[in-house]
Amino acid sequence: MRRSMHALWAWCYDLLWFLADLRHSQPRRFAALSAAMLGSLVLVPLLALTLSDGGSAASHQHQAMTVRTDVAGAQRVVPYNGLPTSIAQDATSLESGPMILPEQQRVVRVLSDVLHEEIDFAGLIYGSDGSEGGILPLDNGVVPSSGPRFDTSWELILPSARIRAAVVQVGLTSDGEMGSPDNPFVAGWFNRSAVPGEPGNALLGGHRDYQDRDGNVDVGVCWELDETRVGDQLLMFDGARNHYFVYEIVDKVTIRPDSSAAEKYLSQTRESVVTLITCAGEFDEDSHSYDQRIIVVALLTAVARPDA
């Protein structure tokens, strides 16, 4: 240790003599060297501090991104609170992933292989291709939905309610609520909800009955929706891809539209869900509306192509 200290002092002594000699013999070189040494004494600590702050900032940024990711994830993975608890837990387990069928993992099968029972298409008497156009007055939540700009490539098929109907786009009412179609024979897809077949809650609405602009009264596409039961199948046919997205009914309720419980059925989901809504209960002549809603929730289980 003493030898090391002695050697250090000897080196410093020699350096001082070298600098003194350099100052007299080569003043410009001495000035440049002094500036460099002084700069290093200032810059090295500053650089170390900067790197330390930068590392800290990077760490905070990473934490912030993680928090945002966690928050966003929490919004996506909260179990759909309209589903029975056991199904919701299975469908949205963080360990097992969502109960959806990602595009790259989908196994497209033949429709007859995934149906619980054969569909009697001739018996699907409620619904149409939408060619009647808008025949309902634009009030009580009805919004414009007829014409090419509202068309989709989708068709709703629900055998238990004898429904086969074109799906059109509907937007918001003037009150900021989900609108209903101006044609009572089609299903209205709320175009701010998820796309059918993809992760999220695809909201559909249909009329139970109607009175058109000429005063004619008749039944609508969802006249028999109350006949649907948990375990029944619901199909969304995508004509653009020639695929059926096959769902299973996992929940059905009848509730008041102004109840707190109604909001959960409009929530977005991690799993691929279709929620179909229609009117029910007592009809109020003054408000021209029903006091309850039937809500059917279906979970995606398979993707199939038509039988050859």
Helix axes 27-77, 2-25, angle to 10 degrees: 120
CA 170/CA 143 separation, integer angstroms: 7
What pTM did the predictor assign? 0.68
The DSSP bridge partners found for residue 205 are 188, 277
- The model's pLDDT over 196-255, given as tens digits with 9 standing for 90+, comes to 999 999 999 999 999 999 999 999 999 999 999 999 999 999 999 999 999 999 999 999
CA 210/CA 122 separation, integer angstroms: 24
- Please determine, for residue 108, whether its predicted confidence score (pLDDT) is greater than 90: no
- Please determine, for residue 34, whether its predicted confidence score (pLDDT) is greater than 60: yes
- The model's pLDDT over 268-307, given as tens digits with 9 standing for 90+, comes to 898 999 999 999 888 777 666 787 899 999 999 999 999 8
- Nearest-CA neighbor of 222 among 269, 186, 249, 177? 186
More confident residue, 36 or 293: 293
User: What pLDDT sits at residue 291?
Assistant: 79
Element (H, E) at 44: helix 27-77
Task: Give the mean model confidence (pLDDT) for residues 84-106.
Answer: 41
Q: CA 66 → CA 56, 60, 72, distances in Å?
A: 15, 10, 10
Which pair of tokens denotes residue 157?
């098929």
Please state the φ and ψ torsions of residue 38, each to the nearest 5 degrees: -65, -40
Most confident of 12-21, 61-70, 86-95, 250-259: 250-259
- The model's pLDDT over 63-80, given as tens digits with 9 standing for 90+, comes to 221 222 222 322 222 233
Task: Give the mean model confidence (pLDDT) for residues 119-141.
Answer: 94
